[in-house]
Structure 1
């Protein structure tokens, strides 16, 4: 399998300190059912963390949401700059299937690579 289609451990946020550092990150994007928080890192690639609380649903639902987010990140990670990303699922995401989650997270990931001055021009 090509490297662009994998999700190695080096592409994951695994330590609590990484998640805590993102807690007050200045870059946030609201998508339907998700909050995507990111911050530049000193590494050569983007890394993903996923937060799905028990308020969202039972273990089956939480695991499904995480699978969806990992798959979408796996397909988009080559186009992302070197950032740490935390995808925080909201209750609304429990009712979404993959075909509804994919465009929301892809839009969020595209937003990450856009410089802030370009964002203002694009939103008008």
Structure 2
């Protein structure tokens, strides 16, 4: 996802899922494939190295499941507790969120 309008569309009627250190917000997109947007703020992690680590983990988790995901736009927001979690804890939280996304019935609206 590239521009602000695409992010606004997701936030207009979102489905929210807890992802441990992330809040996963999703909405059907009607494009036939899943897309990822990241919103990792300085308020969440002040150091750039920490923000980049969270982005890498989020992207890796998304790529591992992108083929199985329905046609949805997914935006991942950082929770303040994320910088205290270990990588396995972050991946575990995202795994739970992806299971919830996969279990949801999506209708493009």
Same fold, judged at TM 0.5 (above): yes
Give the equivalent residue in structure 2 for 1:103: 92
SS at match of 1:85: strand
User: For 1:33 and 1:67, how far apart are their aligned partners in 2?
Assistant: 13
C-alpha RMSD over aligned residues: 1.3
Q: What is the CA deviation profile of residues 85-117 of structure 1, one whole-angstrom value per residue up to 9, with x for unaligned ones? A: 00101111111222111111111111112136x
Contact (CA 8 Å) 1:36, 1:88: kept in 2 or not?
yes
For structure 2, the 5+ residue unaligned runs are: none
Give the equivalent residue in structure 2 for 1:113: 102
Which TM-score applies when normalising by structure 1?
0.78
Which TM-score applies when normalising by structure 2?
0.88
Give the equivalent residue in structure 1 for 2:39: 51
Give the equivalent residue in structure 1 for 2:52: 63
Whichever of the two has the greater Rg, that structure is 1
* The one of 86, 90, 94 aligned to 2:79: 90
Contact (CA 8 Å) 1:76, 1:106: kept in 2 or not?
no
1:28 CA displacement? 0.6
Q: What stretches of structure 1 move > 6 A for 4+ residues in a row?
A: none
Contact (CA 8 Å) 1:25, 1:37: kept in 2 or not?
no
For structure 1, the 5+ residue unaligned runs are: 1-12, 117-124
1:84 CA displacement? 0.2
SS at match of 2:103: coil
Give the equivalent residue in structure 1 for 2:4: 16
Give the equivalent residue in structure 2 for 1:119: none
Larger RCO, structure (CA 8 Å, separation 6 or more):
2
| Equivalent residue pairs, number | 104
